[in-house]
Structure 1
Amino acid sequence: MAGLFWLQPGVNRVGCGDDCLVCLPEGPAHLGDLLWQSGLLLWQPVDGPEQSLQTDLNGAPSVVDFGDWSFFVVDREGRLAARLRDRAWAAKQPFSGLAYFDDDPQWVIEADWETLSPPLSMEVPNVSGDLKQVEVGHRAVFNVGGEPASLLPMAVSDNEVFFVFRDRTSGRETYGAGRFLKVPVPTGRKIRLDFNRAYNPPCAFTPFATCPLPPPENWLPFPITAGERKWLPK
């Protein structure tokens, strides 16, 4: 990921020129325009036919390629942004790999899946400073070493439950802004939290991500020495 550019309604100029909202590191001063109007998104290249673009709202977004670069548009609560990718990045800076704690069955926890009545409504921030309203109808309740804890899910789909959490390893052994955890949807009153599968969000690797941050309710007061460690680029 090499750039994140928030679009404005109307014409958004794309290229290397100083007047471009979507700034490219190389190429023509004016590659084309992104037109966002009346709920539609169009790509109007200087040399080529106009085409309609899909954002990532309902699946894989449309991708515009040019040389070693590409961009696509993401939808974040009705705000659109062009994400720029350097497809030749790996050749210039090989990926150093990921680090994990040793797999530990003690960090596979059967938690109580409690219903919240009424549901909890809260605002969840992301790394860009934006807030997202989240309705929470359940929570996972458990204890570690006799210390009670709970986690609120950020999303519950037909197949999985998504958590964002911090713990006492955050900023030391693991990524400072917290980690993600996805688990299967429970079929009863228990939910299986396998912290060995905790992983870093995209913002651990690039400043051009829009990751949600853990709410204060999901700041755990003990270290979780399981899952993915902090990424240290070489």
Structure 2
Amino acid sequence: MSTDAEQDGQSPADWRRWHEERIVAVAAPHGPLSLTGTHWLSDHPDGRIPGVPGRWREDGDEVLLTAGPEDGLTLDTKPLTGEARLGPDRGPIDTSRVARGDRRLVVLRREGLWAVRDFDPASPARHAFRTIEATPYDPRWSLDGVFRPYDTDRTVRVENADGHERGLGLGGEIAFTLDGSAHTLQVAVEPDGSLWAVFADATSGRGSYRFRFLRPAAPDAEGRVRVDFNRALLPPCAFADHFICPFPPPGNTLPVAVAAGERNRVDA
């Protein structure tokens, strides 16, 4: 007879499939390993970004891109010659509007600042990557939790992986019990109702990456949620230095060693 956890998709076989799919997604042509640069336009007032074709300038709520035939850029799969006005790209990387061959040039906006990200399938990091080191599934780390929403959303300032401090939106906390001790993690609420936690623990920087992500599914009508550390994720900045991942907010460093989930990137 299967257990409740197995019926909910929490089993060693389900975890192995999830782990294998993660490795494939990370190593995809436009996965996180392909990011070769995040270029803030404020650092390039003349609009010229070293190694990136075209001229990119801020223009209020848009980015003005100017390109000639020699730049080899396409916009919406068609050759771009002249000017184009761009907003932030919000879809998958391979659907970004601007490309040069296999490269994708993604427009990003954070706290009023504009940037261009360069995703190149030929990146050295992508070709050096071998796998993701992860701890095999252990039912001990799949826990019952309760989501407690805040009365109003909160924003806390946290350091990011690029050394700058930015706001992190939080919509509530999840409470759970591990080995008889009560713990909480502050979480953001995604548009589809799922949750996102940035956390550290006693293994961070000592056997696992310095912090990790947890993405529980949306709570049920009673607020119940599965807190499955077997599916703790490496953040994008574990695969490329050019991501600006937020560090854990105050209170999200667990005093226990979470020996579960993804731990580190492994290169050949």
Could you tell me whether the CA contact under 8 Å between 1:113 and 1:191 is conserved in 2? yes
- 1:79-158 equivalent positions in 2, closer than 5 A: 79-89=113-123, 93-117=127-151, 120-158=154-192
Q: Does residue 51 of structure 1 match 2:80?
A: no
Aligned to 2:267: 233
Q: Does residue 221 of structure 1 match 2:243?
A: no
Q: What residue ranges of structure 1 are gaps of 5+ in the alignment?
A: 15-21, 26-30
Deviation, structure 1 residue 213: 0.9
1:180-205 alpha-carbon deviations (Å, 9 max, x no partner): 11111112132211111111011001
- C-alpha distance in 1 between matches for 2:61 and 2:38: 20
Q: Does residue 34 of structure 1 match 2:61?
A: no
1:174 is paired with a residue whose SS is: coil
Q: Which amino acid aligns with 2:135?
A: F
1:61-104 alpha-carbon deviations (Å, 9 max, x no partner): 73433356442211112211111222223798242111210111
Could you tell me whether the CA contact under 8 Å between 1:9 and 1:35 is conserved in 2? no
1:140-170 alpha-carbon deviations (Å, 9 max, x no partner): 1122112221100033433310111001111
Aligned to 2:51: 24
- C-alpha distance in 2 between matches for 1:89 and 1:119: 38
- C-alpha distance in 2 between matches for 1:215 and 1:92: 30
- 1:192-203 equivalent positions in 2, closer than 5 A: 192-203=226-237
Q: Judging changes above 3 Å, is the alpha-carbon distance between structure 1 residues 233 and 43 closer, same or farther for their aligned structure 2 residues?
A: same
Q: Judging changes above 3 Å, is the alpha-carbon distance between structure 1 residues 203 and 91 closer, same or farther for their aligned structure 2 residues?
A: closer
Compute the RMSD of aligned alpha carbons.
Answer: 2.6
- C-alpha distance in 1 between matches for 2:44 and 2:264: 40
1:13-64 alpha-carbon deviations (Å, 9 max, x no partner): 33xxxxxxx1118xxxxx42112212121211133232232313x4357343
| TM-score normalised by structure 1 residue count | 0.82
- C-alpha distance in 1 between matches for 2:125 and 2:43: 36
- C-alpha distance in 1 between matches for 2:169 and 2:87: 27
Q: Which amino acid aligns with 1:23?
A: P
Could you tell me whether the CA contact under 8 Å between 1:203 and 1:209 is conserved in 2? yes
Q: Which amino acid aligns with 1:44?
A: T
Q: Which amino acid aligns with 1:114?
A: R
Q: Judging changes above 3 Å, is the alpha-carbon distance between structure 1 residues 46 and 90 closer, same or farther for their aligned structure 2 residues?
A: same
- C-alpha distance in 1 between matches for 2:243 and 2:258: 24
Could you tell me whether the CA contact under 8 Å between 2:212 and 2:233 is conserved in 1? yes
| TM-score normalised by structure 2 residue count | 0.72
Could you tell me whether the CA contact under 8 Å between 1:174 and 1:230 is conserved in 2? yes
Aligned to 1:17: none
Please, which of 185, 207, 210 is the counterpart of residue 241 of structure 2?
A: 207
Structure that is richer in helix per residue: 2
Q: Which amino acid aligns with 1:77?
A: E
- C-alpha distance in 1 between matches for 2:152 and 2:57: 42
Q: What residue ranges of structure 2 are gaps of 5+ in the alignment?
A: 1-34, 70-80
